Amino acid sequence: MTDCLFCKMVSGEIPPDKVYEDDQVLAFRDINPQAPLHVLVIPKEHIATLNDLDDTHLPLLGRMVQTAAIIAAQEGFDERGYRTVINCNAEAGQSVFHIHLHLLAGRAMHWPPG
């Protein structure tokens, strides 16, 4: 997707503040952090929303969640706790239509989320 911001981060056209990368996923710091740690974990494959997942994507989603857990531990938040969120479409507040897992940590999280 040539007009997708996060695909441009995967290609390197827009360099992310990278935290982790492998052959399937990329993780980088959010430009507008909502917590002391706010990292986005994305698949390298362009998938617009959770509604576009199929069975072939399931290992990839597992990889994304595990990557968030590894980063949380590396940053020292595995015992304190952290939150992971994937927003889907307008009412959830999705603004970039390439799926991304938010990893938030470093402050008390509220429930239910706003």
Binder of residue 93, out of Zn ion, ligand AMP, none (CB less than 5 to 8 A by kind): ligand AMP
Please check whether residue 71 is in contact with residue 20, taking contact to mean a CB–CB distance below 8 angstroms: yes
Regarding 45 and contact with ligand AMP (CB under 6 A), the answer is no
Binding residues for Zn ion restricted to 38-97, rule: CB under 5 A: 46
Binder of residue 32, out of Zn ion, ligand AMP, none (CB less than 5 to 8 A by kind): ligand AMP
Which tokens hold the place of 4? 């997708």
Q: Please say if 57 is a catalytic residue.
A: no
Least Cα distance to 11 among 62, 101, 3, 54 occurs for 3
Pick the piece of the chain touching ligand AMP (CB under 6 A) from 26-34, 54-62, 73-81, 105-113.
Answer: 26-34
Please check whether residue 57 is in contact with residue 47, taking contact to mean a CB–CB distance below 8 angstroms: yes
Which listed residue (1, 58, 73, 96) binds ligand AMP by CB under 6 A? 96
Regarding 84 and contact with ligand AMP (CB under 6 A), the answer is no
Q: What is the dihedral of CA 62, 33, 8, 19, to 10 degrees?
A: -60
Positions marked active-site = 100
